[in-house]
Amino acid sequence: MALFFCASASANISTTQHDYSSQRQLFLEAENLLRNNKRQQFRQHLNQLSSYSLLPYLIYADYKSRLGYLSPQQIDSFNQRFGDTPIAKRLNNQWLIHLAENRRWQKLLKHYPGNGGAELDCYAVRALYHSGKKEQALSKVKPLWLVGKSQPKACDPLFRTWQESSHFNSELAWQRFQLAMERGKYRLARYLIRFTEGEQKQLAEQWHQLYRQPEKINRLNLTRQPPTLAKKIVRFGIKRLARYNASLAWTGWKKLSKKHDFNAKEVIAIERNLALASLLQKEALDRPELTQIINNPGNSDLQERRIRATIAVGNWQAMQQWLLRLSPQMQATPRWEYWSIRAAEELGTEPNEVILSRYTELAGQRHYYGFLAADRVGTDYQLNHQEIDLMDAQVMTLQTIPAFIRARELFLLDRVVDARREWRQATQRMNTQQLAQAAKLAAEWGWHDRAIHTVAQTPYRDDLELRFPLPHQQHVINEAERHQIDPAWVMAVIRQESAFMLDARSSRGALGLMQIMPRTGREIGRLLKSPLHNTANLLQSDLNIKFGTAYLRRNLNRLQNNLVSATAAYNAGYGNVRKWLPKEQGIEADRWVETIRFNETRGYVQNVMAYAAIYDQRLNRPTIRLSERMPAIQPKKQQ
């Protein structure tokens, strides 16, 4: 669906937004009154805020502070009034959990509808047990037990009671042990062994040992075990062994595959895993069965790994042959089109004018491989910026949607987690045109991470001002100058790491705009003689940029001032990058990047290099070509 355009629309968007500043101030005062238990004054403020978009959040805070005194009618009323907000379900669940924690079992049973997750399900079964229906309750525990992960603590008392009843036996422990092993929850599996008995206990011990000592699979006697179980253990052992030693895993598999009756589908799956391990470790690449496996339909990822192995050693002829085995769709992707041209150029298998034409066509595209191609022929980078212009009426429509109003108010109050929940709920059913409008609106608000993530769900990718914003610009420039590094590179790292989400937190614990790990933050703090006493301070934008740029500078110092390896080290760690450096002679940077072992790090480096070129333009700086930013990677011995 086409967007409507209006040249002056962007300038008018912000003028259509209502001013809720006085209500916002009353909201903050009301929160403070509630915290200080001044409920009469709090209720007076509520009356004054009856039409304010964040009224549900005040009532929610009030209700949450006195869950034990709420009636079912109050919960139902809240759901009816504010059921379109993310906090409605949250309040309901918190109330139910409060009932359970205070052993108000009958009320929990009456008002819990089911399907609220494992924690509430366990509480509901406990409620049933304590209401006198013990056998009925115990009969419902098995599905909660037979899962391959740890259950919430609310389930522990239920499991203990169940284990002491006739409903539990060691076979159930054995079944859950298997589920845990298959899911990779090895600590849970270790715990479950204590509930197994006899031969099952012995086998569980042996199976669990394969986690750390997979080579024992070659000596494990499984002839007395049921064929399905024996094959399951063999698969586990071979897969674990392949992670450490692909050659040894191949040898073990050849012997074990003759002892156990694996079907064709099982063989393909195991040998595919072995092939992947061989390619990653660059071991056993001359095995004849490896080529056969790689060529099997559906193994395009293995074919790509095999091509990367040829890129690593500079075997252009083999690269060209393997490229031709890719599907036509894969060959046409920018990645493999670039390497196909590179191989033809190196081998001289195509006329120069054809190679020039192919490079020039690829250079017309805005991405990493397009920029590399432009460097090969010396043409300008084609950034192809096109702003998304919207009519005021379209944006006005979005601004009247309650969820958007709430999201903006929460964002302005720095309640970004709740703001994102409202935003997600508001946009989850939008079409691409509406999403583009929403992205533009977020950018107008200065909510850049939502703008970036929202427009990424649409085909409208050419608005570079929206996709590559400039918050914290002056601070980035100041810190970059302090550490004598490229500010466009710093902006590119921030864009890749967090998309300018101030409170970004990764699953590994990295914090803030530049996603700094607490341990790294403490090291950089000592280096800068600015100790990091509280890791939460890494969420402060100025401090995060200060420490992040210092960390980039340290990586450059450690890696011969090479921007490419320093970028890789920022993502994967200096230790890993040291392992990936060439051993004897330098390697062209484009080849080295393409052969980075971790998919995440490879994509990370490619994105940062491309983003840096875009940020040169956004910062009104001369464009530094990738060929300048990406010098050859030097051998480890010269580091």
pLDDT for the residue numbered 19? 81
* Nearest one of 2, 13, 12 to 439, comparing CA atoms: 13
Cα separation, 225 vs 333, in Å, equals 48
Final residue belonging to a domain, choices 141, 163, 185: 163
Average pLDDT in the chain: 94
- Is residue 507 in a domain? yes
User: Is 71 among the domain residues?
Assistant: yes
Q: Which of 135, 163, 191 is the last residue of a domain?
A: 163
* Average of per-residue pLDDT across 285-298: 84
Q: What is the pLDDT of residue 12?
A: 41
Q: Do 359 and 341 contact (CB within 8 A), yes or no?
A: yes
pLDDT at 391: 64
Note down the domain range covering 554.
473-638
Rg (CA), the chain: 30
- Indicate the residue among 163, 188, 210 that finishes a domain: 163
Handedness of CA 599, 453, 417, 185 (dihedral sign): negative
Cα(355)–Cα(339) distance, integer angstroms: 12
- Give the model's pLDDT for residue 6: 36
CA distance 140 to 162: 10
Q: How many CB atoms lie within 10 A of CB 228?
A: 8
Residue 327 maps to a domain: no
Enumerate the H helices of 87-226 as residue ranges. 87-101, 105-111, 118-130, 134-138, 142-145, 156-163, 170-183, 186-192, 198-209
Q: Is the pLDDT of residue 10 over 50?
A: no
What is the value of pTM for the model shown?
Answer: 0.91
pLDDT of 633 higher than 90: yes
Under a CB-based contact definition with an 8 Å cutoff, are residues 466 and 451 in contact?
Answer: yes
10 lies in some domain: no
For residues 455 and 436, the answer to whether their CB atoms sit within 8 Å is yes
Across the range 412-427, mean pLDDT stands at 97
Whether residue 359 is contained in a domain is answered as: no
Predicted pLDDT of residue 286: 75
Q: How confident is the model at residue 18 (pLDDT cuts 50, 70, 90)?
A: confident
Domain-located, residue 87: yes
CATH code at position 70: 1.25.20.10
Query: Tens digits of per-residue pLDDT, 523-540?
Result: 999 999 999 999 999 999
Tell me whether residue 418 is in a domain. Answer: no
Q: What CATH number has the domain bearing residue 569? A: 1.10.530.10
What pLDDT, on a 0 to 100 scale, did the predictor assign at position 288? Answer: 82
Q: What percent of the chain has pLDDT over 90?
A: 91
In sequence order, the 6+-apart residues with CB closer than 8 A to the CB of 133 are none
Structural domain includes residue 69 = yes
- On the question of pLDDT at 8 being above 70, the answer is no
Number of domains the chain is built from: 2
pLDDT tens-place string over residues 145-158 = 999 999 999 999 99
